């Protein structure tokens, strides 16, 4: 896990299935949105700038 991410408030999408597979968790920080694999939270997370995250969400919502 990335240094300093353990204190973040992680959550799954409301679109996540009850099976718990194929899901990511995000945590919103002041300067970035952190993303990690919900199936194995010991793997490193990555961070995306808030503007980049907004662009991704707008793109994904059109699909």
29-45 per-position pLDDT tens digit: 999 999 998 888 889 99
Q: What is the C-alpha radius of gyration for the chain, rounded to an integer number of angstroms?
A: 12
Q: What is the pLDDT of residues 7-63, one digit of tens each?
A: 899 998 777 766 666 688 999 999 999 999 888 888 999 999 999 999 999 998 887
């Amino acid at each position: 896990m990335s240094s300093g991410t353990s204190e973040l408030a992680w959550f799954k999408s409301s679109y996540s299935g009850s099976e718990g597979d194929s899901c990511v968790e995000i945590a919103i920080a002041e300067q970035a949105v952190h993303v990690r694999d919900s199936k194995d939270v010991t793997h490193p997370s990555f961070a995306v700038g808030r503007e980049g995250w907004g662009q991704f969400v707008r793109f994904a919502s059109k699909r």
